Amino acid sequence: MDSLKVFNKELDSLEDWLDRSAARLREISEDSIIKDVETTEFKLHQVRELTEEINKTKPRIEILQTTTNTMLENSEPNFSSILNGKLENISCKWSLLVDGAKTLGDKYESALKKNDEVS
């Protein structure tokens, strides 16, 4: 039972981190019009910082997935359904965050490259 408490605590912690990170990504991308080089460089820097946090968090996601799979092997069907739902939710949020950060980073890098070509 203690392992379930630890699991739920880690799950809640990761979900909170994912929600805060997604909000941060939305905030970075809010003003998506590329106005000037300085703003674009600043936004790219913010995306890179977020990407570093994503990379540091990846092992926690992998451990959670492994732990969930181990728990699924020894659980009842109803509990398995709940666990699968929670894991799917975290995995979906993770994928959206990773993909969103990559897309936004690529967008800002591309804008800076185009600016360099024009200059």
Question: Is 97 contained in some domain?
Answer: yes
The pTM is what? Answer: 0.89
Nearest to 63 by CA among 18, 6, 1: 6
Rounded CA separation 38/80 (Å): 50
Question: Is 15 contained in some domain?
Answer: no
Question: Is 83 contained in some domain?
Answer: yes
Q: pLDDT tens digits for 73-107? A: 888 888 889 889 999 999 999 999 999 999 999 99
List the domain range (segments joined by +) for residue 83.
58-119
Please state, as a whole number, how many other Cβ atoms lie within 10 Å of the Cβ of residue 73. 8
Longest dimension (CA), the chain: 64
Q: For the chain, how many structural domains are there in total?
A: 1
Grade residue 20 by pLDDT with cuts at 50, 70 and 90. very high
